[in-house]
């Protein structure tokens, strides 16, 4: 993996707020906001429902766990 890619990803992760919104998810993943809304409605996506707040809240730590689990490619096992 190129070093520039790793450094860019590290800086993007560091810039994420602790409580993310859908626009933060869209920007990080490089997808449209409408697509991000579909994603956060998925049952496997980590969101928090706060009483009295209609806004979608995504905890950074849970998002990163989801992200690395979803985007980790398993390496083939040597025989």
Interval 10-61: pLDDT, tens: 899 999 999 999 999 999 999 999 999 999 999 989 999 888 888 889 999 9
Residue 79 lies in a domain: no
Calpha distance 20→59 (Å, rounded): 6
pLDDT confidence bin for 5, thresholds 50/70/90: low
Task: Residue 8: give the domain boundaries.
Answer: 3-71
Q: Is 43 helix (H, G, I), strand (E, B) or coil?
A: coil
User: For position 54, which CATH number holds?
Assistant: 1.10.10
> What local confidence, expressed as pLDDT, does residue 76 receive?
56
pLDDT confidence bin for 78, thresholds 50/70/90: low
Residue 24 lies in a domain: yes
Contacts of 28 (CB under 8 A, 6+ apart): 12, 16, 67
pLDDT confidence bin for 75, thresholds 50/70/90: low
CB count in 10 Å sphere of residue 24: 17
| Number of structural domains the chain divides into | 1
Residue 76 lies in a domain: no
């Amino acid at each position: 993996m190129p070093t520039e890619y790793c450094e860019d990803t590290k800086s993007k992760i560091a810039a994420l707020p602790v409580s993310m919104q859908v626009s933060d998810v869209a920007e990080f993943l490089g997808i449209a906001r409408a697509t991000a809304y579909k994603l956060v409605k998925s049952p496997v996506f980590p969101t928090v429902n706060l009483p009295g707040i209609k806004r979608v809240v995504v905890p950074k730590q849970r998002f990163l766990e989801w992200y690395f689990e979803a985007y980790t490619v398993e390496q083939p096992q040597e025989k």
